[in-house]
Amino acid sequence: MIENNGVVLVLSGPSGAGKSSLIDRIADEIGEYYFSISTTTRPMREGEVEGVHYHFVSEEEFKKDIEEDNFLEHAVVHGNYYGTSLKPVRKALHEGKLVIFDIDVQGNMAVKNRLGDITTSVFITPPSLSELERRLRTRCTDSEEVIESRLQMAKREIQRTAEYDFLIINDDFETAAGVLRQIAKTARLKIPHDVINEFVQRWEDIE
């Protein structure tokens, strides 16, 4: 048997697509995993907890980590810095966990460039732009300006759906959760190229 190595599951999609809710729904059914928590410079919102929702840092701290190459990916979104620290990711992969990322389309490409052979990517979206707008307005957490910005970003991101391994249209929540559950379980079967090469070398030595 080939040793169980950690693998990566990337989730992308517009804010309001239901990514967090879907992960919460299947969390107890996909085995041990590490959910990568982003680091951000944006202010903490009411109800958020440091180390649970985000790692909240100053812009100065964030830029220092950029200089020291401590991020897998980073970007400026709505005027704030967001990034993914590499340290906990490496630790979780070494422990054989499924590492789940909730990142944008630029982040997806960064993950593929660094961890492509163990990465499965999923784009999650509501069935239409109008439905996305309805969800954003219903949750009442963003200003009109931010909502418009999110809608414009969603229009750009949807054009890059073909860069992903899977597309989930979150129209019926339970159906979408079932699809994501199956993808997460399948993602665990991916084997790094170096591990495959080692197996092939051992196999050829068998007499």
User: Given a cut of 70, is residue 75 above it in pLDDT?
Assistant: yes
Calpha distance 38→155 (Å, rounded): 23
Range name among 1-5, 44-48, 96-100 with the lowest pLDDT average: 1-5
pLDDT of the residue at 141 = 73
In a domain, 111, yes or no: yes
Domain extent at residue 157? 7-36+97-205
pLDDT of the residue at 203 = 87
Domains identified in the chain, total number: 1
pLDDT of the residue at 207 = 55
Calpha distance 40→63 (Å, rounded): 11
Say what percent of the chain tops pLDDT 90: 51
Calpha distance 54→42 (Å, rounded): 10
pLDDT of the residue at 107 = 85
In a domain, 170, yes or no: yes
User: What is the pLDDT confidence band of residue 120, given thresholds at 50, 70 and 90?
Assistant: very high
User: Given a cut of 60, is residue 138 above it in pLDDT?
Assistant: yes
- The residue-averaged pLDDT of 89-94 equals 89
The pTM for the full model equals 0.80
Residue corresponding to tokens 């009109």: 144
In a domain, 137, yes or no: yes
145-187: per-residue pLDDT in tens? 888 888 998 999 999 999 999 999 999 999 999 999 999 999 9
The burial of 32, by beta-carbon neighbours within 10 Å (0-12 exposed, 13-18 middle, 19 or more buried), is given as: exposed
- The residue-averaged pLDDT of 96-115 equals 90
In a domain, 89, yes or no: no
In a domain, 76, yes or no: no
User: Given a cut of 80, is residue 71 above it in pLDDT?
Assistant: yes
In a domain, 168, yes or no: yes
In a domain, 144, yes or no: yes
In a domain, 182, yes or no: yes
User: Given a cut of 90, is residue 114 above it in pLDDT?
Assistant: no
Question: Count of CB atoms within 10 A of residue 139's CB?
Answer: 11
Task: Enumerate long-range contacts of 19-26, CB under 8 Å, 24 or more apart.
Answer: 19/102, 19/124, 20/102, 21/173, 22/124, 22/168, 22/170, 22/173, 22/176, 22/177, 22/180, 23/100, 23/102, 23/180, 25/173, 25/177, 26/177, 26/180, 26/181, 26/184
For residue 139, what is the domain's CATH number? 3.40.50.300
